[in-house]
């Protein structure tokens, strides 16, 4: 028998003072048949302390007597049988009362779990800071998109007036978790063993390695997938933990070129729609990064414009260089590395400025 729940938690449940977490614990606990008997014992004890819920013995007896009078019998009922019938009726009444109480609180719990608790960026940041003791935040105070490289070299292009936070201590251990306010484009390093999560308002976005955009404002959150697959999970999903902890994508899964809007007022995920990347606003959302015998200078300039970064290189030495590359959804640093390998070049990065050194091509 699982008696890990204390009597106080059960009594709080009867009093309607339980938390959402306690309700879930009680709900799981009651799935065990032995615990249901203990539940009734606690209910009897709780009822004795709350007279307004006690069974009215006198009234109950009158009801039983009236019931007996209406029954036509051919012989005298044994007194002991009467007593047993009354006891049985009382027990049945108590069980009905317990079922009614359980049903009532289950309805309250259903209301709690189907209602989305409003989650703010500030709240998520404070919770993370309390849990880990630290937080790193990057805010784009400029009027142009800002490139941010995460500890695992995943790329983020943060739009103006947007910000992103994460715990340097916990990031990339068992999970890669970031908190977003505003709009950002992500290119995530592929790693199925360490899933990547974005928390934005009431939405959790889970990926294993792909590229996508999230736009979170006060009324809704929007997710647009560029490549790969993305799973979106609501904060109020009762199966949230199972979906988050798995090594695969579970829940509401989006594929490439799909867009979904989560209406926070309606507390539901809208039906996904197909998007054309060429119609999207950000340059990086529209580029495929597929190059076929393309001049290296043209590729570098395309990357500069897409990521809003500075790349310093010798144009004269690279003027004869051409590349065939399919860079797809690799983060920026991976793209730079691949280009340097193809050019037999080296690079270094300083404050979002990449310096490429190459001897050129013959």
DSSP assignment of 76-117, as one string?
PPPHHHHHHHHHHHHHHHHHHHHHHHHHHHHHHHHHHHHSPP
Q: How far is CA 264 from each of CA 3, 223, 268, 362, rounded to the nearest angstrom?
A: 38, 13, 7, 58
HSE of 270, CA atoms in CB hemisphere, 13 A: 17
pLDDT of the residue at 111: 43
Same domain, 79 and 104: yes
Same domain, 108 and 125: no
The single-letter DSSP state of residue 278 is G
Indicate the residue among 238, 263, 279 that finishes a domain: 279
* pLDDT at position 70 over 60: no
pLDDT of the residue at 107: 42
Beta-carbon neighbour count of residue 146 at 10 Å? 22
Q: CA–CA separation, 329 vs 351, rounded Å?
A: 22
pLDDT of the residue at 353: 94
pLDDT of the residue at 52: 45
In-domain check, residue 218:
yes
Same domain, 268 and 125: yes
Q: What angle do CA 43, 9, 38 make, to 5 degrees?
A: 40
pLDDT of the residue at 13: 75
In-domain check, residue 250:
yes
Q: How far is CA 180 from each of CA 78, 122, 125, 248, 301, rounded to the nearest angstrom?
A: 75, 10, 10, 23, 28
Indicate the residue among 226, 247, 279 that finishes a domain: 279
CA-based radius of gyration for the chain: 31
CB 320 within 8 A of CB 296: no
CB 169 within 8 A of CB 201: no
Collapsing DSSP states into helix, strand and coil, what is residue 71? coil
148-189 tens-digit pLDDT: 999 999 999 999 999 999 999 999 999 999 999 999 999 999
CB 205 within 8 A of CB 230: yes
* Exposure b/e, 178-203, CB count within 10 A at least 16 = b: bbbbbbbbbbbbeeeebbbbbbbbbb
- H-type alpha helices, the chain: 7-15, 20-29, 33-49, 57-70, 79-114, 121-132, 240-245, 283-286, 296-307, 315-318, 332-343
pLDDT of the residue at 74: 42
Q: How many domains does the chain have?
A: 3
Same domain, 340 and 275: no
Higher pLDDT, 83 or 229: 229
**At 307, which CATH number?**
3.55.50.30
Collapsing DSSP states into helix, strand and coil, what is residue 154? coil
Q: Give the distance, in angstroms, between the CA of residue 78 and the centroid of all CA atoms in the same chain.
A: 64
In-domain check, residue 1:
no
Indicate the residue among 82, 114, 146 that finishes a domain: 114
In-domain check, residue 322:
yes
* pLDDT at position 76 over 50: no
CB 164 within 8 A of CB 199: no
Q: How far is CA 359 from each of CA 57, 198, 301, 347, rounded to the nearest angstrom?
A: 98, 41, 19, 12
Same domain, 53 and 196: no
Same domain, 311 and 271: no
| pLDDT, the chain, mean | 80
| Region of poorest pLDDT, from 13-17, 248-252, 287-291, 324-328 | 13-17
**At 139, which CATH number?**
2.60.120.1440
316-344 tens-digit pLDDT: 999 999 999 888 889 999 999 999 999 99
CB 275 within 8 A of CB 224: yes
Same domain, 128 and 254: yes
* pLDDT at position 309 over 80: yes
Same domain, 160 and 261: yes
| Burial tier of 350 (Cβ tally within 10 Å: 0-12, 13-18, 19+) | exposed
Sheet bearing 310-312, strands edge to edge: 310-312, 353-357, 346-350
CB 312 within 8 A of CB 349: no
In-domain check, residue 2:
no
Same domain, 128 and 274: yes
Q: Give the pLDDT band (50/70/90) at residue 4.
A: low
Domain that holds residue 221: 121-279
Q: How far is CA 293 from each of CA 135, 298, 326, rounded to the nearest angstrom?
A: 44, 11, 11
Higher pLDDT, 185 or 72: 185
Same domain, 291 and 236: no
Higher pLDDT, 4 or 264: 264
Same domain, 265 and 321: no
* pLDDT at position 95 over 60: no
pTM exceeds 0.85 for this model: no
Q: Give the pLDDT band (50/70/90) at residue 16.
A: low
Same domain, 103 and 26: yes
Q: Give the pLDDT band (50/70/90) at residue 283.
A: confident
Q: What is the mean pLDDT of residues 86-98?
A: 53
pLDDT of the residue at 72: 42
* pLDDT at position 78 over 60: no
pLDDT of the residue at 269: 79
């Amino acid at each position: 028998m699982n008696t890990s729940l204390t009597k106080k938690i059960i009594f709080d449940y009867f009093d309607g003072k339980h938390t959402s977490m306690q309700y879930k614990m009680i709900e799981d606990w009651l799935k065990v048949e032995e615990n249901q008997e203990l539940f009734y014992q606690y209910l009897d004890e709780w009822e004795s302390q709350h007279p307004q819920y006690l069974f009215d013995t006198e009234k109950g007896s009158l009801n039983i007597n009236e019931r007996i009078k209406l029954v036509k019998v051919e012989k005298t009922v044994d007194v002991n049988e009467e007593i047993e019938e009354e006891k049985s009726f009382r027990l049945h009444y108590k069980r009905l009362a317990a079922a009614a109480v359980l049903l009532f609180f289950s309805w309250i719990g259903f209301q709690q779990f189907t209602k989305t608790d409003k989650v703010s960026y500030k709240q998520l940041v404070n919770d993370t800071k309390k849990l880990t003791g630290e937080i790193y935040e990057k805010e784009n105070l400029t009027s142009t998109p800002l490139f941010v490289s995460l500890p695992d070299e995943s790329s983020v292009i943060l739009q103006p007036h947007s910000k992103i936070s994460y715990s340097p201590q916990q990031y990339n251990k068992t999970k890669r978790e970031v908190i977003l306010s505003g709009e950002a484009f992500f290119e995530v390093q592929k790693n199925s063993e360490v899933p990547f999560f974005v928390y934005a308002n009431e939405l959790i976005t889970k990926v294993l390695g792909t590229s996508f955009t999230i736009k979170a404002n006060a009324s809704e959150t929007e997710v647009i997938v560029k490549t790969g697959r993305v799973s979106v999970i609501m904060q109020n999903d009762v199966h949230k933990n199972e979906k988050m902890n798995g090594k695969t994508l579970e829940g509401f899964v989006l594929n490439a070129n799909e867009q979904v809007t989560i209406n926070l007022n309606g507390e539901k995920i809208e039906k996904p729609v197909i998007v054309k990347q060429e119609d999207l606003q950000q340059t990086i959302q529209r580029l495929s990064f597929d190059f076929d015998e393309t001049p290296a200078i043209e590729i570098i300039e395309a990357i500069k414009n897409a990521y809003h970064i500075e790349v310093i290189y010798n144009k004269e030495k690279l003027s004869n260089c051409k590349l065939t590359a399919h860079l797809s959804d690799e983060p920026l640093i991976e793209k730079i590395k691949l280009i340097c390998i193809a050019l037999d070049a080296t690079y270094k990065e300083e404050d979002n400025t990449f310096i490429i050194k190459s001897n050129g091509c013959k």
